[in-house]
Chain A
Amino acid sequence: MTTTVSTTRGGVGDSALRPDGTLKVTGEFAFSSDLYADDMLWGATLRSPHPRALIRSVDIGAALALPGVYAVLTADDVPGERRYGLEVVDQPVLAGRSVRYQGEPVAIVAADHPETARRAVARITVDYEVLAPVTDPEAALAPGAPQVHEDADDDPRAGHSEPGPDQPLGTGNLTRHVPVRRGDPAATAPVVVAGRYEIGMQDQAFLGVESGLAVPAEDGGVDLYIATQWLHVDQKQVAACLGLPADKVRLTLAGVGGAFGAREDLSMQVHASMLALRTGRPVKMVYSREESFFGHVHRHPAVLHYEHGADTDGTLVYVRARIVLDGGAYTSSTPAVVANAATLGVGPYTVPNVAIDAYGVYTNNPPCGAMRGFGAVQACFAYESQMDALAAALGMDPVELRARNALTTGGLMPTGQLVEGPAPVAELLRRVRDLPPAPAGADFLPGGVANTTRGEGVVRGVGYAIGIKNVCFSEGFDDYSTARVRLEVINGRAVALVHTAAAEVGQGLVTVQQQIARTELGVDQVTVATADTRVGSAGSSSASRQTYMTGGAVRAACRLVADRVYARAGVPEGRLRDGAVLDASGAVVASLADVVGDDPIEQTTEYRHRPTSPLDPETGQGDAHVQYAFAAHRATVDVDVELGLVKVVEIATAQDVGKAVNPQAVVGQIQGGTAQGIGLALMEEIQVVDGLVRNPSFTDYLIPTILDMPPTRVDVLELADPHSPYGLRGVGEPPTISSTPAVVAAIRAATGRPLPRVPVRPEHIVG
């Protein structure tokens, strides 16, 4: 176990303040939609109104003729590869012969004003042959179903980035099938509960819409200032589509207004670059909120059939499940989502007999991909609902049932993987249970200020849930991050410069990088350079991995720098603290500034977590994940059982974070992640009918307001992981996973309704 005691102010373990905080509170922080360049044009996108159609022709003449329009481009103008994709190259830059979802980009425009660009878009005429969309994932899997990708030249190819499976992907509308088999797949048990559960399509709903600025460069390349989660995977895809070498496509991270998975895939990156290269002028694109709903992937809607068998004492005997995830029109991260749902499908429990099949499916619904907790969120709602149903069937306390079956250190996952690190499943549950109950009464009743009740019909309920999530990339993927650290003397003081390509998306990674450099190098002043592609890849700000991976890379680079300091100072077993070089006994040998002098020390290194293995394609066995993270929630709700309105009164949560590198930021992640889980439980759903999105706006896609969020009690455990930097554990996703089933369990407790679907709507409660 690695324990680092911070002796440097603002180091690891301190709640250091964000370096970008002042700019953010004064409004000076430059988000990707705030960028400006002299002579800049505005880009706009024509999107398909149909979920499935053939394109007979596109007439851009009238658009080009509009004064103030500088370029109108279609699929034929894509200079390089016409398709891109994270794991599978199957998504067109601009639709060519066919469109596969409503909102698919068909043409792009550059003009002198956003309104000119919009008017030009409206003048483009597309002749569509409209086809019946494939919208039901189960039907899409049936033999003879119409194929979403039927064009001969549409054969998907391996993509650019993610933990793509080594085995061949599915065929037809099946994007991936992951089976997990453990023990006896036909095991029987005296107590059986079965259920069908359904998850609606959630949206990340970040506040900063897709936007960026592409600037044509003199070398024929492009400089792209963009909000993304992974600069290098964008760079690879953009370069390929532009037909340019990677070094001519330079990306710089602009301010990111939230991500949550929605910025893993490309949105306007290639489009703005194409327009900039064509016009020779900088081009800015900013989606509207409505367009944003069509501009990124969403959380996979899912239908999950589960059967749990247990002994009469509550010991789980088997879990069998069939999980169907609707991936929509393009692959995006679907293979990883399917793997997570399958491998984490029994939850944080020890189950001797498991038979799970998870499927990802192409349909003509909106493309789905990464969103916070991807794959684990869907499964958790189902398995935790099942655990409550089982507790009811056994007449057991739901927390004790969970604790009885809780995964522990040394336990085995259904994949056969040994859980090596701490797995405080039972402890987390008991911690939230043993907190004092939520106070009686509440500031707001269900309905809030809308005056729907004075207490009539209001019933309180309490529910529990716990979830599990894999941290970092899995399944044998070569997962790494790169850091460059430079130690130099400025104005007589030793200072550090940290440069990575890791995307700060709000989570506080810039702060963490500073903290690590302070701790490792014993300096106060650490500057984090703007993330860009001039340094090696950091991987994605996703899968709760960046503090682990880029934190690990910064620590490794700092230690290489420190080794050179010790060599220079002639101290074999040195340490750095408070601007001084110490020897093994802790005595000050020299000032760091004197040792560095006018010869800066710079090191660049890559950091990798220990390798993982692919899953066996038949049995789903394998050491596929590098780290597991756990969080438990207790939700207390007031339900107006006559109107079906719910007010969450209090959330109590406990989570093991291994090491809280920045305790304030950790709590912020837990509270924010919990809010997104509450949103999925109660209100958040992109409603799709016949492939058409019915609510692409913040008027009808509702996310929680401050009145919807209850006070939270956050209990942070720090049980060090033996393998990770500082013992830390990924933090971002677990709170989103278990909050949803906990809230629904509380509503069930108040109402007695089965509530097999989220979001729970008022009509489900009164129905």
Chain B
Amino acid sequence: MDFHAPGTLADALAVKAAHPDALPIAGGTDVMVDLNFDRRRPPALIDLTRVGELRAFGADGAHLRIGAGVPYRQIIDQLAARAPGLALAARTIGSPQIRNRGTLGGNLGSASPAGDAHPPLLAAGAVVELASVRGTRTVPAAEFFTGPKRSVLAADELVTAVLLPVAPGPQQFAKVGTRTAMVIAVCSFAVALDPVARTVGTGIGSAGPTPLRATAAHDLPLPWDTAGPLDDDLVRRFGELVAAAARPIDDVRGTAAYRRHALGVLARRTLTWAWDDYRKGRA
């Protein structure tokens, strides 16, 4: 096994182009588990922790640009106002030690259906930036995932950043696990209200082969103008749409039926909380 430690993004992309089988490693929170448990023996590792460009974050036009190598700890501490849904999700990831190391880029690269950072990206309409020596492209987060642990990432590409629309409205995230902390999601859900476009962004985690959206709920007729309290039927309808959008399976962490049920509950609750925030913001 070889070990590459590029110091710049250009070097990293060159290494990846020359060694498409090489496995990028950042926080190591997925990669090292596979190595330690003898599940994976890539011919080489590419350490991305020395690539300064990947650690940067900040405004980028109408977007917030978060480098793929920004650890969750920093998202929680420094980006909670600008990316509230993502920060809520980051707080539920693994343990403090994991959040100190784990990165958004790693979460995307692993493309686990249970990745906690994914639902808020889908809900907020984030775009994933991919780069290679061939150039840079962007892919909507909702189109990034192609299956369990599979994505559109090409063999010579690296995830370099996530571009998040600056949150135009309240966002929420909630995750169900069978332990109170340090647990992989049984299911998770993110909601992002866009009072400008008058849409409801959604992201469903750990209830399908990829993170999913409840697109049918996108145009839920919320009382945007009056900012009045939500009608119970509307909230229930939202929960049903979210539950219906899930494609869960039975596995060691939970049953498909439970996941569908829990997603409905999470959807109702998070929509209510987000709407309450919206109303407070308008008051």
B36 at interface, CB cutoff 8 A: yes
- Chain B contacts for A645, CB-based, 8 A: 176
- Chain A contacts for B180, CB-based, 8 A: 444, 446-450, 647, 705, 707-708
Q: Which of B49-57, B126-134, B249-257 contacts A (4 or more CB under 8 A)?
A: B249-257
Interface digits, B182-224 against A, CB 8 Å rule (1 contact, 0 not)?
A: 1110100000000000000000000000000000000000000
Q: Which of A277-285, A313-321, A695-703 contacts B (4 or more CB under 8 A)?
A: A695-703
In whole Å, how far is A582's beta carbon from the nearest beta carbon of chain B? 56
B70 at interface, CB cutoff 8 A: no
A694 at interface, CB cutoff 8 A: yes
Which of A449, A643, A687 gathers the greatest number of chain B CB atoms within 10 Å? A643
Name the residue on B nearest A289 (C-beta). Answer: B37
Q: Which of B2-10, B167-175, B225-233 contacts A (4 or more CB under 8 A)?
A: B167-175
**Contact size range, A:** 35 or more
Name the residue on A nearest B172 (C-beta). Answer: A451
- Complex Cα distance, B254 from A704, in Å, reads 18
* Pick from B173, B252, B258, B261: contact of A694, CB under 8 Å: B252
Name the residue on B nearest A693 (C-beta). Answer: B252
- Complex Cα distance, B261 from A418, in Å, reads 53
Name the residue on A nearest B92 (C-beta). Answer: A450
Q: Which of B16-24, B137-145, B158-166, B265-273 contacts A (4 or more CB under 8 A)?
A: B265-273
- Chain A contacts for B36, CB-based, 8 A: 288
B78 at interface, CB cutoff 8 A: no
In whole Å, how far is A680's beta carbon from the nearest beta carbon of chain B? 13
B91 at interface, CB cutoff 8 A: yes
Name the residue on A nearest B180 (C-beta). Answer: A448
- Chain B contacts for A704, CB-based, 8 A: 179
- Chain A contacts for B257, CB-based, 8 A: 763
In whole Å, how far is B112's beta carbon from the nearest beta carbon of chain A? 11
Which of B91, B173, B181, B266 gathers the greatest number of chain A CB atoms within 10 Å? B181
A683 near B181 with CB under 8 A, answer no
Name the residue on A nearest B183 (C-beta). Answer: A702
Interface digits, A677-698 against B, CB 8 Å rule (1 contact, 0 not)?
A: 0000011000100000011010
In whole Å, how far is B30's beta carbon from the nearest beta carbon of chain A? 11
B254 near A763 with CB under 8 A, answer yes
- Chain B contacts for A697, CB-based, 8 A: 37
A763 near B255 with CB under 8 A, answer yes
B146 at interface, CB cutoff 8 A: no
A452 near B252 with CB under 8 A, answer no
- Complex Cα distance, B98 from A705, in Å, reads 15
- Chain B contacts for A18, CB-based, 8 A: none
A450 near B175 with CB under 8 A, answer yes
Interface digits, A418-462 against B, CB 8 Å rule (1 contact, 0 not)?
A: 000000000000000000000000001011111111101100000
- Complex Cα distance, B176 from A643, in Å, reads 8
A761 at interface, CB cutoff 8 A: yes
A449 near B91 with CB under 8 A, answer yes
A708 near B179 with CB under 8 A, answer yes
- Complex Cα distance, B97 from A705, in Å, reads 14
* Pick from A118, A457, A695, A702: contact of B179, CB under 8 Å: A702
B273 near A454 with CB under 8 A, answer yes
Which of A450, A452, A694, A761 gathers the greatest number of chain B CB atoms within 10 Å? A450
- Chain A contacts for B273, CB-based, 8 A: 454
B253 near A452 with CB under 8 A, answer no
B88 at interface, CB cutoff 8 A: yes
A450 near B258 with CB under 8 A, answer no
- Complex Cα distance, B258 from A643, in Å, reads 9
A66 at interface, CB cutoff 8 A: no
Do A705 and B255 contact each other (CB < 8 Å), given the known contacts A450-B174, A451-B174? no
A159 at interface, CB cutoff 8 A: no
Do A705 and B182 contact each other (CB < 8 Å), given the known contacts A450-B177, A763-B255? yes
Name the residue on A nearest B269 (C-beta). Answer: A456
B12 at interface, CB cutoff 8 A: no
B258 near A766 with CB under 8 A, answer yes
In whole Å, how far is B26's beta carbon from the nearest beta carbon of chain A? 19
- Chain B contacts for A446, CB-based, 8 A: 180
A448-491 contacts to B, CB under 8 A, are 448-454, 456-457
A449 near B37 with CB under 8 A, answer no
- Chain B contacts for A457, CB-based, 8 A: 265
A701-754 contacts to B, CB under 8 A, are 702, 704-708
Which of B180, B183, B273 gathers the greatest number of chain A CB atoms within 10 Å? B180
* Pick from B37, B181, B184, B269: contact of A452, CB under 8 Å: B269
- Complex Cα distance, B182 from A659, in Å, reads 38
A616 at interface, CB cutoff 8 A: no
- Complex Cα distance, B38 from A288, in Å, reads 10
Name the residue on B nearest A445 (C-beta). Answer: B180
- Complex Cα distance, B58 from A249, in Å, reads 65
B262 at interface, CB cutoff 8 A: yes
- Chain A contacts for B181, CB-based, 8 A: 448-449, 705-708
In whole Å, how far is A458's beta carbon from the nearest beta carbon of chain B? 12
Name the residue on B nearest A290 (C-beta). Answer: B37
A642 at interface, CB cutoff 8 A: yes
A179 at interface, CB cutoff 8 A: no
Do A451 and B254 contact each other (CB < 8 Å), given the known contacts A288-B36, A702-B183? no
Interface digits, B65-106 against A, CB 8 Å rule (1 contact, 0 not)?
A: 000000000000000000000001001100000000000000
Interface digits, A624-652 against B, CB 8 Å rule (1 contact, 0 not)?
A: 00000000000000000011110100000
- Complex Cα distance, B176 from A697, in Å, reads 19
- Chain B contacts for A444, CB-based, 8 A: 180
B136 at interface, CB cutoff 8 A: no
- Chain B contacts for A449, CB-based, 8 A: 91-92, 180-181
A352 at interface, CB cutoff 8 A: no
A478-518 contacts to B, CB under 8 A, are none
A766 near B178 with CB under 8 A, answer no
In whole Å, how far is B44's beta carbon from the nearest beta carbon of chain A? 15
Top 4 A-B pairs, shortest CB-CB distance: A448-B180, A763-B258, A707-B181, A707-B180
Additional A-B contacts beyond A447-B180, A452-B266, A762-B254 (12; CB < 8 A): A447-B177, A450-B174, A454-B269, A643-B266, A644-B262, A647-B180, A687-B252, A702-B178, A706-B181, A708-B179, A763-B254, A763-B261
- Can you offer 15 A-B residue contacts whose CB atoms are under 8 A? A446-B180, A447-B176, A450-B177, A450-B180, A451-B92, A451-B172, A452-B175, A452-B269, A643-B265, A700-B184, A705-B180, A705-B182, A706-B181, A763-B258, A763-B261
Binding site for A on B (CB under 8 A): 36-38, 88, 91-92, 172-184, 186, 252-255, 257-258, 261-262, 265-266, 269, 273
